[in-house]
């Protein structure tokens, strides 16, 4: 019995030794890098640690496997995306030594942009998992061996190689502790946008390259809902570098134009006509599109100093006085000058300085509003308030009341102190005239105005405010000249009966302006809304005529207040989609389509683009004097050039984005495209037949 127990004890001790030995052997195997079915061992360095993780607990019967390369960088260190940018190298994996393992594809989530001096690189910091799509070839265990070459950088760059090993046993697949994390990084991989229609609410609509000393890549993108912080990563022909993009938002951030300054070495090919892959990232949304680059329009060029652009703005503002938009204001001022005929130099100076102040202050207020809209990502431009129905109604009411005032139907009493200081005209009234001049000037674009406004709105708040102040000074120059030399105003005869006839005639001119505003409203909000506004304004004028002889009547202010309320409310109440405008019988205008322009040019055709609006008086002048008559109309009708019209009477973010391509923010705008000018040749604000025909000839 004792002998038997001793034998059993020896057997147990031997078994214990065997178990310890087996455990130690297992530990040694673990230290060789062959790990469980969930992850490999870490390969650790001071700057980066790497391992393989598996979303599949077994290899299955053959089919898809979900793996990931997990990398953890030390603070401040980064590694690179598949396209590293101006410097760096992407991770590379050699799968030699693997068994029952094929079709391994390393995939890259959306990267981040890193800017160091003038270098732009793309990659990852912190922790990242690069998903790996692979397959097992059939039943049985899967052996994964990965030799990973990776570059990590901070102020210096260090290459590392990590040998990773992972064995998946045979058996049915099941999730692991890493399945969720791998899926999270898989969801960050940019989805493919094949046709520009977009995925996840964002789309890359077009991309074009601009040659020359200001070479650039221009990318247009859209988002629903609006963009938050978009960025685009460019993979184009070798030899080109792209700076961090300048981003211009349109329509509250629903459209974005990203302009990348492009720098190529001597051997770099032309980019237009070549393919490029663009990856658009906006927060958690990311898409990828490969497309052929078109030709971008030429950049708005102004090579002078900032002082020179201020001089251009002053000149443009001065020329605005000759535009049809401002003529009603000149009529009002002429009436005021007639009343002041024979007045003292002091009174004349006060009146004209007040008008000048009204103009400049209004331009500064307009600049402030545009700065706020730009910072908020909204559409900005010159004269956009004429796209608002309530503004048109309010302006029509104001113009009508000015006309009624000139006809003597009512007077606005002034405080006694003002009346004593300015007989026959008040500083407040003159200031209001300046404000009114600015409001009516904004739908016009005179020579030099487009250059100044485009330069300003593409830059920061200080430039916008300075250039708009210069525009205001230019518009106010005639009034400042009279204030400096009041004797010029005293050449008019002294007030007499002739003034009544002049005021009546000028009132008719203002009434015509009111009818024009009602006509524009019909294009904006439909005929019913325009008819409602016309009825209200007619009722106001009739009521003022009926009570004109009553002294101290309470009816007049009540009538004016009711007219103001109904003039704004009724058009808004009856607003409707306007009826389609009948096509021109002589010129076969096509609806604006940016993509169709490039397609037509590739076919060797010429395209004439006319960006216009019913509220743009200069546009109407161009149509009547150049576009719709003579040799230009014949060329557009016989197919020499394809006529394409972009109607900006109502807000249209597509048109706003198109204008932004040329650095323009106001209309009229015309451009000619053709085989020789694929990026479009912009024309001057005031067209001439010779200029248009010369552009057609150059485009061939």
pLDDT, residue 278, reads 95
Least reliable range by pLDDT among 93-102, 396-405, 435-444, 668-677: 435-444
Q: How many CB atoms lie within 10 A of CB 267?
A: 7
- Alpha-carbon separation of residue 328 from 281, 332, 438, 441 (angstroms): 50, 6, 12, 10
Distance of alpha carbon 118 from alpha carbon 140, whole angstroms: 52
pLDDT tens-place string over residues 150-185: 999 988 899 999 999 999 998 888 889 999 999 999
Domain ranges of the chain: 34-186, 191-295, 306-573, 590-699
pLDDT, residue 290, reads 92
Q: Is 639 left (phi over 0), alpha (psi -120 to 50) or beta?
A: left
CATH 3.40.30.10 fits 590-699, yes or no: yes
pLDDT level of residue 90 (50, 70, 90 thresholds): very high
**CATH for 191-295 (3.30.200, 2.60.40, 1.10.3470, 3.90.25):** 2.60.40
The share of the chain scoring above pLDDT 90, in percent, equals: 25
Residues 6 or more apart in contact with residue 470 via CB below 8 angstroms: 310, 311, 313, 314, 317, 452
pLDDT tens-place string over residues 185-230: 999 999 998 877 888 889 998 888 888 777 889 898 989 888 988 9
The share of the chain scoring above pLDDT 70, in percent, equals: 76
Residues 6 or more apart in contact with residue 16 via CB below 8 angstroms: none
Kindly write down the DSSP assignment for every residue of 467-487, as one continuous string: HHHHHHHHHHHHHHHHHH-GG
Query: Which residue in this structure is represented by tokens 């010159």?
Result: 382
Kindly write down the DSSP assignment for every residue of 79-116, as one continuous string: EEEEEEESS----EEE-TT-BS-EEEEE-----EEEEE
pLDDT, residue 545, reads 77
Distance of alpha carbon 551 from alpha carbon 554, whole angstroms: 9
| Token digits of residue 555 | 């009816």
Check whether 495 has a pLDDT greater than 60: no
Closest CA to 649 of 532, 520, 512: 520
Residue 443 phi/psi, 5-degree rounding, is -80, -5
| Mean pLDDT of the 330-347 span | 60
Q: Are 34-186 and 191-295 in the same CATH fold?
A: yes
- Alpha-carbon separation of residue 51 from 67, 90, 130, 147, 159 (angstroms): 11, 17, 11, 11, 16
pLDDT, residue 326, reads 61
pLDDT, residue 267, reads 74
pLDDT, residue 549, reads 61
Question: Which CATH architecture does the domain made up of 34-186 adopt?
Answer: Sandwich (2.60)
Check whether 231 has a pLDDT greater than 90: yes
Least reliable range by pLDDT among 375-379, 511-515, 591-595: 375-379
Distance of alpha carbon 273 from alpha carbon 217, whole angstroms: 12
What's the start-to-end Cα distance of the chain, in Å? 115
| Mean pLDDT of the 126-139 span | 92
- Mapped onto helix, strand or coil, the DSSP state of residue 444 is coil
pLDDT, residue 96, reads 94
In DSSP terms, 677 is beta-bridged to 674
Length of the chain: 700
In DSSP terms, 152 is beta-bridged to 158
Residues 6 or more apart in contact with residue 613 via CB below 8 angstroms: 386, 387, 443, 619, 647, 648, 649, 667
| Mean pLDDT of the 131-150 span | 92
What Rg, from alpha-carbon coordinates, does the chain have? 36
| Strongest mean pLDDT among 14-18, 96-100, 296-300 | 96-100
Q: In three state form, how does the secondary structure of 537-570 look?
A: HHHHHHHHHHCCCCCCCCHHHHHHHHHHHHHHHH
pLDDT, residue 665, reads 74
Whether residue 132 contacts residue 104, with contact meaning beta carbons closer than 8 Å, is answered with: yes
pLDDT, residue 22, reads 39
Check whether 15 has a pLDDT greater than 90: no
Check whether 442 has a pLDDT greater than 70: no
pLDDT level of residue 376 (50, 70, 90 thresholds): low
Least reliable range by pLDDT among 202-211, 644-653, 659-668: 659-668
């Amino acid at each position: 019995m004792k002998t038997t127990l001793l034998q059993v004890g020896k057997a147990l001790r031997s078994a214990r030794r065997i178990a310890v030995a087996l455990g130690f052997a297992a530990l040694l195997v673990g230290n060789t890098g062959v790990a469980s079915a969930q992850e490999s061992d870490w390969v650790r360095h001071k700057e980066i640690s790497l391992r393989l993780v598996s979303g599949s607990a077994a290899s299955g019967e053959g089919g898809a496997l979900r793996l990931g390369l997990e990398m953890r960088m030390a603070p401040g260190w980064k590694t690179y995306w598949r396209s590293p940018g101006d410097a760096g190298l992407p991770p590379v994996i050699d799968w030699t030594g693997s068994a029952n393992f094929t079709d391994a594809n390393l995939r890259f989530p959306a990267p981040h942009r890193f800017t160091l001096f003038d270098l732009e690189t793309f990659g990852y910091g912190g922790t990242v998992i690069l998903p790996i799509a692979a397959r097992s070839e059939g039943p049985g265990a899967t052996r994964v061996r990965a030799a990973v070459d990776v570059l990590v950088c901070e102020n210096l760059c260090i290459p590392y190689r990590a040998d990773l090993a992972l064995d998946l046993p045979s058996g049915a697949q099941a999730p692991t502790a890493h399945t969720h994390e791998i899926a999270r990084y898989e969801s960050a991989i940019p989805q493919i946008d094949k046709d520009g229609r977009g995925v996840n609410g964002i789309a890359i609509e077009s991309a074009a390259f601009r040659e020359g000393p200001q070479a650039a890549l221009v990318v247009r993108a859209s988002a629903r809902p609006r963009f938050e912080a978009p960025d685009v990563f460019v993979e184009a022909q070798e030899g080109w570098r792209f700076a961090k993009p300048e981003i211009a938002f349109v329509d509250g951030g629903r459209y974005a134009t990203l302009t990348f300054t492009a720098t190529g070495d001597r051997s770099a090919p032309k980019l237009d006509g070549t393919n490029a892959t663009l990856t658009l990232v906006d927060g958690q949304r990311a898409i990828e599109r490969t497309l052929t680059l078109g030709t971008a329009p030429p950049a708005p060029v102004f090579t002078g100093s900032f002082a020179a652009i201020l001089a251009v703005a002053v000149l443009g503002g001065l020329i605005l006085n000759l535009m049809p938009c401002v003529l009603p204001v000149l009529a009002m001022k002429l009436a005021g000058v007639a009343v002041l005929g024979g007045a003292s130099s002091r009174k004349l100076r006060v009146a004209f300085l007040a008008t000048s102040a009204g103009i400049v202050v209004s331009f500064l207020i307009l600049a402030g509003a545009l700065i706020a809209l730009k910072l908020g990502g909204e559409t900005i431009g010159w004269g956009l308030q004429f796209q608002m129905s309530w503004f048109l109604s309010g302006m029509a009411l104001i113009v009508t009341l000015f006309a009624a005032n000139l006809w003597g139907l009512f007077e606005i009493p002034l405080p006694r102190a003002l009346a004593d200081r300015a007989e026959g005209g008040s500083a407040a009234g003159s200031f209001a005239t300046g404000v009114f001049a600015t409001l009516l000037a904004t739908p016009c674009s005179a020579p030099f105005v487009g250059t100044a406004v485009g330069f300003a709105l593409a830059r920061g708040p200080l430039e916008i405010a300075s250039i708009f102040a210069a525009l205001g000074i230019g518009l106010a120059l005639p009034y400042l000249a009279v204030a400096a030399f009041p004797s010029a105003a005293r050449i008019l005869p002294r007030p007499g009966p002739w003034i009544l006839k002049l005021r009546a005639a000028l009132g008719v001119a203002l009434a015509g302006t009111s009818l024009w505003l009602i006509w524009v409203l019909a294009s904006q909000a439909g005929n019913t809304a325009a008819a409602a506004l016309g009825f209200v304004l007619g009722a106001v004028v009739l009521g003022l005529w009926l009570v004109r002889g009553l002294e101290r009547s309470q009816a007049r202010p009540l009538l004016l207040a009711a007219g103001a309320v109904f003039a704004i409310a009724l058009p808004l109440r009856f607003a409707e989609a306007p009826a389609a405008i009948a096509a021109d019988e002589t010129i076969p205008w096509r609806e604006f389509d940016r993509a169709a322009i490039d397609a037509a040019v590739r076919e060797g055709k010429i395209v004439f683009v006319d960006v216009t609006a019913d509220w743009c008086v200069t546009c109407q002048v161009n149509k009547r004097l150049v576009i719709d008559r003579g040799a230009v109309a014949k060329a557009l009708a016989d197919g020499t050039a394809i006529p394409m019209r972009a109607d900006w009477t109502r807000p249209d973010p597509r048109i706003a984005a198109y204008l932004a391509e040329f650095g323009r923010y106001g209309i009229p705008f015309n451009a000619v495209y053709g085989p020789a000018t694929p990026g479009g040749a912009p024309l001057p604000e005031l067209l001439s037949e010779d200029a248009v025909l010369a552009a057609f000839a150059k485009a061939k």
